[in-house]
Amino acid sequence: MDIRINHIQRFIYSHHFYSGIRRAAGTLLPIMVLGGLFGWYSAGLVATFGALCVAFIDQPGPHEHRGREMLGGAMLGAVTVTITGLASSHPLLIWFAVIGQCFFFSMLSVYGKKGGQIGFACLLLMTVTMHSPLTTDEVWLHSLTSVGGGLFYTLFSYLVSRVMIMREKEQALSVALFSTADYIARRADMYNLDGDLDTSYRALIACQSDMTEKHQAARDMVLRGLSTESSKRDPRRIMLWNLFIEMIGILDTLVATRTDYVLLRKALGDSDALLFMRDALGKMSQDIERIALAVSRNRRVRRRSSVKAELRALEYEVQLMQVNGFSTSDPDVYRLCVEIVRRLRLSARMVDRMAEFTRGAKDTQPIHAVDMNNSLSQFLSRDQFRLGMLTSNLRLDSPFCRYALRVTLAVGIAMTLSTLIPVLARQGYWILLTVLIIMKPGFALTRQRNGWRLFGTMIGCAAAFGILYSTQDPGWLLALMIVITIIGASMIQINYMAASAFNTTAVLLAFHFIDPGSSTVIADRALDTIVGSIVCFACSYFLPWWESQFMPSLAKAAVVANRTYLQSGLLYLEARDAASRDLQHPATQQADLNWRLARKNVHVAFSNFAGAFYRMMLEPESRQRHVAEFNNLLIQSHMLASQIAAVMNTLIAMPEAPQEVTEHLAALMPALGDTSSTGPTEPLEPLPQVVTENKYPDLTYPMKQLQRSVHHVQQELLAVQV
């Protein structure tokens, strides 16, 4: 019961629910004002569709970017309405207009997620404009009303975001904190002897991929504007900054824990050490969840857990190992346990500080205040909208061009069916809309969206039938429609099937207000969705772009990111030593910044690689390539990043890094990402003598693991020949 309540609280206080309310209010206001106050229901509906177009673009993110994107979407939407309206009364022209716009707007996916959202929003406007033919005079009025609705929503959303700017930042950070708590919980599962290690590892990787996306969204919100003097004096901004830094610190601490779970389970399966490790991480996960909820509610943490008992018990177990001679008989396991205790203790301190930061004390000082400068912009996402990106992909070997052609074909088939089959003629635009919603660039994503849309629509139709059967009271129906619209808009990025069910119900209730006497609207929507799903399924096999075609480049990018991570760490050591360990020296600060950027890029590259791999596993087996090799490469890339972090953090903590070790690490870099040879790989240089003789105990185990990971990565790269 506690878990269910917790997830409900997550949703209610998240930016998903907040943005859902904002989008629902912005889209419903035009028809409520124009229709309710002036009786202009038709104009209000057109303005609402214009606002709805922009609302699809208005997703959580920096409000500066959202303002430009929404304004551009409103202008493109006006052009779309004009073109579609002028062609709507000409059967041949409407075909050319629809086909051409479908191809063009589908090609906007070359600009990433935002480009795809803008393209879909314009296609949505195109679809609803096709509902009935328009005269020339009606077209211009229709276009002006539609763009008016879009501009109204843009202004409404921008002003609300300006007023609620701190609230949006808090919500973005809370989502990242929740994902961090989930990641720590998955790491705790790795110590559970009752769980399958491979299953737990797959869950950990998937969770890390999701967490990386949430962390980047938090960066884009929290770090913007921190270089201004007013921000440096704002207690709430300082609190968010400190929480973000500690969150990343916990992640780095856990990643740098060079854990060999197979070795631990084999050596410590009969002791309670693994149990204490699991429970300590589990409690920290719960505490971070409470911190996340407190941040989202703008309150301080009141209820907390303590891991002191687990840490003391674990320390006692380590002492027993030493007394029983375990440190001599199995030094690797002993050093690993010592390192885990150290990392858990450090993480627990960070969690305690995070809980204290939620107090929002006015005398709180920012952590790493020197870093709150313009260099933070290098950590933020950048959306590029260059014409060359579009024109350079107008070729058949481009996945974006293939996607646009698939959408165009599916739309053409949908229009043909609605023209040739009388029973589908009345609602052909809805079949078209179903196709546009379901079709995605990847085969796996299209198949997932197809199933979610189909089942969600069926559930929505059943819900609408139940509501309309239960009551015909306009007041209750209007209230239900508003609530359902808010929930549907909030669930789009969380659970698409649920969002589809709520949105379908809301649309059917809206149709009831427009035409209360219609008795077939629910059956029509169900039939249209089934037909659209069948069309999408068939067309998904036309010029498909399989994930296996992306895998080699993504795998290479993940390995190269690890190489850059290692190189930047060595350069940081070099710059620090050259500046006589002066951390305030400009060269040291720049090297430190590059090290942190490389660390972030490792997580991003790994997330992209993992996401593509798991999507490939959803595709037909005949289209999966090098599954075992890519799976091993995925695991070794994850381990390699952990070993690099562990080794570099140990070297950074030393008064002076051993030259033999740094030279050996530099010699390993060519093996990471070097695929110029298709023959047998050159053997790696043996570990330096200072490592094999255990002169630096903290380095011995991670250096061995790092060497092993580099060797395996080298072999897997050769196997897949990326």
pLDDT digits (tens, 9 = 90+) for 134-162: 888 888 888 898 889 889 998 998 888 88
- How far is C-alpha 541 from the geometric centre of its chain's CA atoms? 27
Average the pLDDT over 610-618 and give the result. Answer: 83
Question: In this predicted model, what pLDDT tens digit does every residue of 357-366 receive, in sequence order?
Answer: 887 666 666 6
Per-residue pLDDT, 675? 46
How many CB atoms are located within 10 Å of the residue 504 CB? 26
First to last CA, the chain: 48
Residue 584 three-state SS:
coil
Residue 208 token pair = 């890390």
- pLDDT confidence tier of residue 409, bands split at 50, 70 and 90: very high
The DSSP output letter for 301 is -
Residue pair 447/538 in contact (Cβ under 8 Å)? The answer is: no
Q: What amino acid occupies position 254?
A: L
Q: Is residue 266 exposed (0-12), middle (13-18) or buried (19+ Cβ within 10 Å)?
A: exposed
Per-residue pLDDT, 199? 82
Q: Is the pLDDT reported for residue 676 higher than 60?
A: no
Q: Is the pLDDT reported for residue 377 higher than 60?
A: no
Average pLDDT, the chain: 80
Question: In this predicted model, what pLDDT tens digit does every residue of 546-602 receive, in sequence order?
Answer: 788 778 888 888 888 989 988 888 888 888 777 766 666 777 778 888 888 888 888
Distance, CA of 399 to CA of 615 (rounded, Å): 15
Per-residue pLDDT, 370? 43
Q: What are phi and psi of 528, to 5 degrees?
A: -60, -40
- pLDDT confidence tier of residue 56, bands split at 50, 70 and 90: confident
Average the pLDDT over 679-689 and give the result. Answer: 67
Q: Of 351, 239, 249, nearest to 295 (Cα)?
A: 239
Q: Say which residue, 404 or 426, is predicted with more confidence.
A: 404
Residue 621 token pair = 């087996």
Residue 92 three-state SS:
helix
- How far is C-alpha 163 from the geometric centre of its chain's CA atoms? 26
How do the domains of the chain map onto residue ranges? 1-163, 167-368, 398-545, 547-720
Per-residue pLDDT, 226? 60
Q: Is the pLDDT reported for residue 2 higher than 60?
A: no
Distance, CA of 115 to CA of 393 (rounded, Å): 14
CATH class as words, domain 167-368: mainly alpha
| Residue that is written with structure tokens 């309405």 in the block | 81
Distance, CA of 597 to CA of 602 (rounded, Å): 9
Question: In this predicted model, what pLDDT tens digit does every residue of 451-500 receive, in sequence order?
Answer: 888 888 888 888 888 888 787 777 787 788 888 888 887 777 778 788 88
Average the pLDDT over 497-504 and give the result. Answer: 83
Q: How far, in Å, are 116, 211, 324, 629, 673 from residue 112 at the CA level?
A: 6, 19, 58, 28, 26
Q: What are phi and psi of 627, to 5 degrees?
A: -60, -50
To the nearest whole percent, how much of the chain has pLDDT over 90?
1
Residue 452 token pair = 């979610």
Q: Say which residue, 533 or 228, is predicted with more confidence.
A: 533
Distance, CA of 593 to CA of 179 (rounded, Å): 25
Residue 162 token pair = 């300006």
Q: How far, in Å, are 117, 166, 694 from residue 72 at the CA level?
A: 12, 25, 62
Per-residue pLDDT, 677? 44
- pLDDT confidence tier of residue 373, bands split at 50, 70 and 90: low
Q: Say which residue, 96 or 378, is predicted with more confidence.
A: 96
Residue pair 59/493 in contact (Cβ under 8 Å)? The answer is: yes
Q: Is the pLDDT reported for residue 5 higher than 50?
A: no
Average the pLDDT over 674-700 and give the result. Answer: 66
Question: In this predicted model, what pLDDT tens digit does every residue of 319-356 receive, in sequence order?
Answer: 888 888 777 777 777 888 888 888 888 888 888 888 88
Distance, CA of 123 to CA of 647 (rounded, Å): 52
Instruction: Give the best-scoring range by mean pLDDT among 58-67, 637-646, 690-699.
Output: 637-646
> How is 601-641 classified by DSSP, letter by letter?
HHHHHHHHHHHHHHHHTTS-GGG--SHHHHHHHHHHHHHHH
